[in-house]
Structures are given as structure tokens and as C-alpha cells.
Structure 1
Amino acid sequence: MAKRVLLVVTNVGHYDDDVHPTGLWLSELTHAWHVFEEAGYEQTLVSPAGGKVPLEPRALKFPNVDKTAKAWLADPVKMALLENTKSPDEIASADYDAIYFTGGHAVMYDFLDNRGLQKITRELYERGAVVSSVCHGYCGLLNTTLSDGSFLIAGKHMTGFAWREEELAKVHKLVPYNAEKVAKQRGGLYEKAKLPFVPYAVVDGNLVTGQNPPSAKKTAKAVVKLLG
């Protein structure tokens, strides 16, 4: 049977100040989707509330739009997937071999405390399935606890979008919290590349995390390697 991967996307379309739009960073989905598709995996999109997924406008501008993102934007079938995602209560964790949290600043709002996603993630992790995230997707892991009450990332080598990258992207005054700082507070053994915005991924057991948008392909390939 083909491996099955659950890809998590956002429902949020703006920062606290709705003058500033945000959403899914499309290439973080499309890079991984392409890798998983080549591996023959079945893929399902889920979002915290189910339904429509807004797209981050900056991710659709050169040089952020690559061939996989352009192909997705030009494919009505693929675009329709972002109009009608499943909600966590429609998902049975036992049906999946891995979960992959996509990013974009929007996820800082609706991934952090979604109990449905936390339950799915905990169940997958505790049975040895792969839990993965890229960029801000690690916000979906920050408050996820295991059955013993400990944080999933505690004592684990991991990464995610760095605070220095927030500053360089000039959004550090818009974001609701410092995700890198919270990861460290939760006991995560946070790592990052020597230079900002270069591909970087960390594997610790069945946890796979990527630092930034260019890390999506590297992260997905690490997931495939773990799944064998």
C-alpha cells in the first residue's frame, strides 16, 4: 500500500492588523507535494478550521515563485484542493504515515493551539510515524504535548524560521510572538544554518524540521528517507 501523508495548511489571511495580508507560503506546500508525489504517496490537505486556504502574496512574487508553485497556480484541480481542505475532526491519525506542517506567517495564529491537530500529531508521533514541519510550520509543534504531559519537542534537535530571518524579512514587528524563543522555552534543542535563508533540515528520531521556505524540498526528502 502507498504511504499516506497529511499536509497541514492555514486558514488565516492576515496578521493581527488586517491591513497586512499573509497566508500559506505556496512553495512550502508544492515542493513537498512534488517530492511526496514522486515517491508515490497519497496526500491529504487538512487545515485548522477546514475549508479555504489563503495564499501569502509575497510568496507569489519573483523570485519566490518557482516552477512547482507556478504549475500549481496554473492547475485548476490543484487550486481547488485549497478551496476545500479537511478539518482535523475528519481525520483519523491511524490512516497516515506522516504529517507535514507547511508555513507562512499565518500559521503562527491558527496552528499554535489547535487541539485537533495536536491530537493527530501526538498519536502519530507516539506510534513512531513521522512528524515534520518547515519554516513557521513548527508553530504547530510548539504547544503539542505527549501523553505524559511533556512537550513533543523537549530535548529534540529541531529548527524552524529563525528570529534573525523575521528581522531580515521586516516582519518582526508584525508577528504575534518569537517562535524561535518559544521553541527554546519548550525545551527544543533549536538549531539553524550559519547563514539565513539557506536550506537547512534537522532529523531527530521520527521528528523532521526545516528552517525556512528553501528548506521544504530537503525536509520532504528527509521524510521520504525515514519512511523507507
Structure 2
Amino acid sequence: MKALIVCTNHTDYPTKPQKTGLWLSEATHFYDELQDRNIQFDFVSPNGGPIPLDERSIESRDTTNEKWMHNPAFQEKLANSLRPDQINPADYQIIYFTGGHGTMWDFPDNATLQSITRYIYEHGGMVSAVCHGVAGLLNVTLSDGTSFIANKQVTGFSNMEEKIVRLAEEVPFLLEDALKQRGAIYSKALIPYMPYIEVDERLVTGQNPLSARKVGRKVVEEMFEK
């Protein structure tokens, strides 16, 4: 069994000097849950190559981040992510879109990532995403031409959370609004920044960074324990 972990390459905000990139725990916490089942993984990003990390996500004392950042194999894959055109979707039973604000720019319109997602889903695999990574699902269509997320229960980074981090003016769109516009049935935790996931058959989404581990746990449960 193998998982494809999708990460952003985008680092720049329109006006803020700080850099964005992958929110590290959204990769490490998710994979930490899969690793117990010996699930192999690859990183893929829109451009391939090294995956930038949002510096704010490295500062926090996080034992899971520490564990994986000192793991040579994990580091090697993070430095050499694959390009979407190098991926054979038949090799993967799980796709997972990590977040970080950068995903808002380089996930939604990547046609190759969309076709990989469609293939994995239509061949019985799991599709999962967390926080801003849910943006990667916005424009996925199924083989019959219908929107993948229309009428599905989903969550993702909320408008309120975007306001709290003071980045609502920087992002190209608000994810909560975009999901609703695509016909998704959006829900969120009552309190911002609490762990929250939504499950709709073989689609698992998480609201914010604290939800990544729960997404991983649910994906494992759906794959192995049914």
C-alpha cells in the first residue's frame, strides 16, 4: 500500500514579507499515523524538487516534527519531491493534500494533480486533504464530468481562521467560500483551531493543522478496519 502526499511549492504572499510553504505538521502528523501500518509514501508537488516549509510551522516545539525532520529518508523525499507527470496513479491507494497558504496558489488549477485524484478515487482509493490543502479538490471532476466535491461533506480552513491569522486579504480567495460555491456541504468546528474532520465515504478532510493526525487516523481506519 502506498500514499501520495501532495505539497506546495509556492512561498510568496502578495504583500507580506514572510514566506509560506508546507505547514510541516500537516505532513508529519498525517504520515505518523500511516507509518504504523508500514504504508510507503512519496511526496509530489506541482513543480517537483524541494518542498519549502512555512517558517512559522517549524518554530513550535513538536515532537512529531522533530522525529521526522531527523529521519533521513523523510528528508530525502522532502528535498526531492516528484512532479505530477512522474506519477503513475495506479501505484497509490491514498492521496493526501497537505496545507500551508501556498497551496491556494498552486493547487486549484493543476490539471495533472486533478487527474491523479480522479484516478485514485475511481479505482477505490482514499482521497484526503487538510486545511488549505483542501483547495486541491476544488476543481477535481469525475469521469462523468461532475464536480468531485459537489454534495459531499467537507471541511477546510475557515473564513474565521483566516481572519484570525490576518491573511484573509493576502490569499487569492477564501477557501470556505470557494467550497460552498462548488456545491460542497461545508462544516467546521464551533471553535476556531480545534481539531475537526469530515468523512464522506472515501473522502476525508480536516479543517486546520490540528486536524492532520485525525485525518491520517481516519484514512487508516477506512482502509484497514472496515
Q: TM-score, normalised by structure 1?
A: 0.95
Q: Which residue number in structure 2 is paired with residue 70 of structure 1?
A: 66
Are residue 183 (structure 1) and residue 179 (structure 2) matched? yes
SS of structure 1 residue aligned to 2:11: coil
Which aligned runs of 4 or more in structure 1 are off by greater than 4 angstroms? none
Q: Which residue number in structure 2 is paired with residue 110 of structure 1?
A: 106
Identity %: 46
User: Displacement of 1:123 after TM fit?
Assistant: 0.9
User: Displacement of 1:139 after TM fit?
Assistant: 0.4
* Alpha-carbon contact 2:155-2:206 (below 8 Å) kept: yes
Are residue 121 (structure 1) and residue 117 (structure 2) matched? yes
Q: Which residue number in structure 2 is paired with residue 20 of structure 1?
A: 18
For residues 138-149 of structure 1, what are the structure 2 equivalents within 5 Å?
138-149=134-145
Unaligned runs of 5+ residues in structure 1 are: none
* AA aligned opposite 2:7: V
Q: Which residue number in structure 2 is paired with residue 97 of structure 1?
A: 93
Are residue 198 (structure 1) and residue 194 (structure 2) matched? yes
Q: Which residue number in structure 2 is paired with residue 51 of structure 1?
A: 49
Of the structure 1 ranges 76-85 and 48-57, higher mean CA displacement relative to structure 2 is found in 76-85
User: Displacement of 1:41 after TM fit?
Assistant: 0.4
In structure 1, distance between residues paired with 2:148 and 2:131: 17
| CA displacement 1:97-148 (0-9 Å, x = unmatched) | 1101000001111111001100000111112210000111100001111112
In structure 2, distance between residues paired with 1:144 and 1:108: 15
SS of structure 2 residue aligned to 1:160: coil
SS of structure 2 residue aligned to 1:82: helix
User: Displacement of 1:40 after TM fit?
Assistant: 1.2
Q: Which residue number in structure 2 is paired with residue 30 of structure 1?
A: 28
User: Displacement of 1:76 after TM fit?
Assistant: 4.1
* AA aligned opposite 1:97: Q
SS of structure 1 residue aligned to 2:79: coil
User: Displacement of 1:151 after TM fit?
Assistant: 1.1
In structure 2, distance between residues paired with 1:130 and 1:227: 8
* Alpha-carbon contact 2:42-2:77 (below 8 Å) kept: no
User: Displacement of 1:78 after TM fit?
Assistant: 2.5
Q: Which residue number in structure 2 is paired with residue 11 of structure 1?
A: 9
Matched residue count: 224
User: Displacement of 1:81 after TM fit?
Assistant: 1.8
User: Displacement of 1:71 after TM fit?
Assistant: 2.1
In structure 2, distance between residues paired with 1:37 and 1:8: 17
* AA aligned opposite 1:56: D
In structure 2, distance between residues paired with 1:77 and 1:145: 34
User: Displacement of 1:13 after TM fit?
Assistant: 1.4
